[in-house]
Amino acid sequence: MIGRLNHVAIAVKDLDAATAVYRDTLGAKVTEPLPQPEHGVTVVFVELPNSKVELMSPLGENSTIQGFVDKNPAGGIHHVCYEVEDIIAARDQMKAAGARVLGTGEPRIGAHGKPVIFLHPKDFLGTLVELEQV
């Protein structure tokens, strides 16, 4: 079912410093920071030939990643995102397999304007997994 590895998301406190690591030290192409207040994050996309790394820092007072960066002050991988063709079918398949879908269980519109669900890390090898319909 899952298709492409859409992105690896790394959450950090200091987005400028994180961008410099990927742009200057690793020599990758990076975008300008994109505030996404509806998701409580500011994002920089690291554009690799076959996939993306997304650098995220908390935005606003109720960011969903604030707890993560407090616990991981040096930063850390927050989630991985795989593409699916049909988010409802994917959601139903996850539930049928006994895997936990976070939140209400209904897809919501993700950071790329497409429907997404998030899956519980304890059911996916300690990894927060996002599924995105493309």
Q: Are 28 and 41 in contact (CB under 8 A)?
A: no
Q: Binding string to a copy of itself for residues 93 to 112, with x set by CB under 8 A, is what? A: xx--x-x-------------
Euclidean distance between CA atoms 132 and 68, whole angstroms: 22
Nearer to a copy of itself, 39 or 82 (CB): 82
Residues 74-93 that bind a copy of itself (CB under 8 A): 74-77, 80, 82, 93
Provide, rounded to whole angstroms, the least separation between the CB of residue 21 and a copy of itself.
Answer: 6
Which CB, 21 or 64, lies closer to a copy of itself?
Answer: 21
**Does residue number 117 form part of the binding site for a copy of itself (CB under 8 A)?**
no
Question: Is 130 annotated in the active site?
Answer: yes
> Which amino acid is present at 43?
V
Where on the chain is the footprint of a copy of itself (CB under 8 A)?
A: 1-5, 8, 10, 12, 18, 21, 24-28, 48-51, 53, 55, 72, 74-77, 80, 82, 93-94, 97, 99, 121-127, 129
